[in-house]
Structure 1
Amino acid sequence: MTLVTRLQTSYSRNNPRLILLAGMAGLLAVSACTSSTSIPSEVARIETAQGSAENIGSLTAVIRANPNDPVAYNVRGSAFGKSGNTSDALRDFNKAIQLNPRYFEAYANRALIHRIEGNLSAAAADYNSAIRINQNYDKAYIGRGELYRRAGRTNEAFNDFQKAIQLDTTDPRAYHRRGLIYQSRGQHDFALDDFATAISLAPNSPEPYNGRAISYIALGQIDNAFDAVNFALNLDDNNAESWANQGLIWEQKGENDKARKSYRRALQLNANFEPARNGLNRVGG
């Protein structure tokens, strides 16, 4: 089995957000990763509510004063979602939708919680409901597109991200994830354009910098890839993917001692991150 085949097998098996760069003569790297058991960063974006106990207490007081206000339930549900309390989040989104069956934001928020809990069919149904109610709701297209992308339905995912972008979304996820699809198709110039837009919209997020690094590797621009990964690490030095990508670049440069250090750091942060484990095995870790 070739190195490319081994990487493709391990990467696709262990992370739904990994992108294989076909046609590379050398090593491959991975794009943004998220554990299926963790609360994804999108929770922080739903209605921007904070998940502190103090804030949830304040929202509860608002609901007591306005028990038939769907907006109050939607906002508190978002706060519960941000805190990781998915059962209470679902309860509040259910109540918001019961009070207003055309509350498309609540459908999209509930869809995200369903996705976190692994109920993908319910998530898809809620995104579809949100889109039926409001065909111009960009976040529902982005959420549904991510469901499609994780399921390997990349053409449908691309269409949803494209639709959100056509709606003039300012959500960086649409550009980042469309970039990942361009990347998977070997269209790295388009991917780099999308990563650049995502960075302009979310300059403190390491994910598009890691995506940028992967395309630079595919194009043989190793120094540019190294700069992108190091920028990602400056933003968040507890990101296992960034360390693994840095290890891969050191490996490409023939600096195996430095590669080992980067791979080991990635595994300290995520002991189950198989791309880092495989990289460490390659460099004799």
Structure 2
Amino acid sequence: MLLTITKYMLFKINTLSQLFLLVLILLNCTSQRKKDAADFFLKGNQALNQKNYAEALRLYDEAIAKNADFSDAYLNKGITLLKLGRTNDAHEILSEAIRIDPTLVQANLVRAEASLNLGRLNDAKADLEQIEKEYKDSTRFHLVKGNLLDAQGNSSQAIPEYDRALQLSKTNIEAYVNRGAVYYRMGSYTEARLDFETAVALDPAQPQALNNLGLIASRNHQWQQAIAYFDQVLSRDPSEPYSLNNKGYALLQSGKPEEAKVLIERSLEKLPENGYALRNLGMYYQQKGSTQEALKSFNKAIDIAEPVELLYGLAGQAYHAQKNMAEACRIWKQGVVLKDSLAIAEAGKYCR
């Protein structure tokens, strides 16, 4: 699962399970329908491996139509639905696979990932606990467990799970990216950078790691280097909303506000509820002296009720520019409670 943590919009990999391309062995099977089901299943696996998800889904449905108790076909159909972003449907299909065959522990692992993506943390925990003995030496299991612990707010406990995942597989790119994201949020930027760089060494086009390296460069005010990282993501996916917004922020800091505004607005077209992009749009208007427009964007971001660094400090500054000290101090004091560093500094200066 791709985690979003950020000064500018850092994210983790959205954990979709690797393919379980299970080979069906038909022993003493004389049923033509079951043989046909097996053929459709194997063809579905081939399509899934080729990332032809629509065709894979059709073939698994054909297999299930021939054999309604074909648990492996339900499992791989569930994986396909996850790849298509149909997480609720995937969860239902995986539950059916488990109902048909309670020993099919692969389905519990994939369903745990689906539950995690849906925010059903207790369900994910129950599935992982059920299969922990069988999966104690699985890099995937420890990756998903680390993601769950992080989602539960236990980031320090997530790190050893990512460590174990990487001990079991030195090429688990998701574990490097997700451990790096946790290190970043904990303020361990050197460790985070090393994890992201390792992920890029394994896959030079890895978008999350490239984006996050751009964020570290941004923290160091290395704006051109940051832009170069974001451009690597955008060269392959020009509409990727996080890197669009992050590049926009870097351009704002580089004296190129009009270019920045274009990218930030494109990001908001893709993700209208992106609090960081709304904050950055407010910063653009603040730079242009359009205080009322800035406040509209800041207040939209505040209404989303997600943590956005510096947001309350900036909103208070906009009210201060309007000489509305009562509202400025109200916003800054809210920011103090939320540990907004700019709000803390401004409240200490102006509000008694």
Give the TM-score of the pair, scaled to structure 2.
Answer: 0.65
Match of 1:185 among 201, 220, 225: 220
Label 1:115 to 1:242 Cα distance change in 2 as closer, same or farther (>3 A).
same
Q: Give 1:257's match in structure 2, choosing from 292, 298, 303.
A: 292
Distance 1:212 1:157 in 2: 20
Counterparts in 2 of 1:201 and 1:90: CA distance versus 1, 3 Å: farther
Is it true that 1:207 corresponds to 2:242 in the alignment?
A: yes
- Contact 1:77/1:93, CA 8 A, preserved across alignment: yes
Report how far residue 144 of structure 1 moved. Answer: 0.7
**What is the aligned partner in structure 2 of residue 27 from structure 1?**
none
Matched, 1:17 2:52: no
Question: Could you tell me how far apart the structure 1 residues matched to 2:104 and 2:163 are?
Answer: 24
Aligned with residue 281 of structure 2, among 243, 246, 251? 246
| Whole-angstrom distance in 1 between the partners of 2:12 and 2:220 | 26
Instruction: Please state if 1:79 is matched with 2:114.
Output: yes
Distance 1:274 1:150 in 2: 12
Q: Distance in 2 between matches of 1:150 and 1:245?
A: 20
1:244 and 1:263 in contact (8 A); partners too: yes
Q: Deviations over 1:100-155 (max 9, x none)?
A: 32211121011111001011232111101110000011000001111111111101
Q: Is 1:32 matched with 2:67?
A: no
Partner of 1:10: none
In the TM superposition, residue 204 of structure 1 has moved relative to its aligned partner by: 4.4
Task: Give the match's secondary structure for 1:68.
Answer: coil
Report the CA distance between 1:201 and its aligned residue.
5.0
Higher relative contact order (CA 8 A, sep 6+): 1
Distance 1:206 1:169 in 2: 20
The corresponding residue for 1:46 is 16
Q: Secondary structure at the match of 1:99?
A: coil
Alignment of 1:89-238 (within 5 A): 89-168=124-203, 170-200=205-235, 203-238=238-273
Partner Cα distance (1:271, 1:225) in 2: 23
**Letter paired with 1:17:** T
Q: 3-state SS of the aligned residue for 1:98? A: coil
Measure, in 2, the Cα distance between the counterparts of 1:119 and 1:244: 28
What's the counterpart of residue 105 of structure 2? 70
Gaps of 5+ in 1: 1-14, 19-30, 34-39
Q: Percent identity?
A: 23
| Superposed displacement of residue 237, structure 1 | 1.9
Matched residues in 2 for 1:203 and 1:213: separation?
13
DSSP-derived class of the 2:178 partner = helix
Distance 2:164 2:236 in 1: 27
CA contact (8 A) 2:279 2:301 kept: yes
Say if 1:46 and 1:109, in contact at 8 Å, map to a contact too. no
State the SS of the aligned residue for 1:80: helix
- Name whichever of 104-113 and 256-265 sits farther off: 256-265
Q: What's the CA shift for 1:226?
A: 1.3
Given candidates 310, 315, 321, the residue that maps to 1:275 is: 310
Question: What secondary structure does 1:195 align onto?
Answer: helix
Alpha-carbon contact 2:12-2:181 (below 8 Å) kept: no
Distance 1:59 1:199, change over 3 A: same
Count of aligned positions:
251
Q: Is there any run of 5+ residues in structure 2 with no aligned partner, and where? A: 18-78, 323-352
Letter matched to residue 139 of structure 2: F
Q: CA deviation at 1:280?
A: 2.7
CA distance in 2, matches of 1:213, 1:17: 15
**TM-score of the two chains, using structure 1 as the length reference:** 0.79
> Could you say what the CA RMSD is over the residues aligned between the two structures, in angstroms?
2.4
More moved, 161-170 vs 203-212: 203-212
Residue aligned with 1:45, SS:
coil
- Offset at residue 68 of structure 1 (A): 3.1
3-state DSSP class of the match of 2:136?
Answer: coil
CA distance 1:150–1:41, change in 2 (3 Å): closer
- Closer/same/farther in 2, CA of residues 235 and 56 from structure 1, 3 Å limit: closer
Query: Is the 2:142–2:162 Cα contact (8 Å) retained in structure 1?
Result: yes
In 2, the alpha carbon distance for the partners of 1:135 and 1:210 equals: 32
What residue identity is the alignment partner of 1:45?
A: T
Mark the CA change 1:92 to 1:245 in structure 2 (over 3 Å): closer, same or farther: same
Contact 1:77–1:92 under 8 Å retained in 2: yes
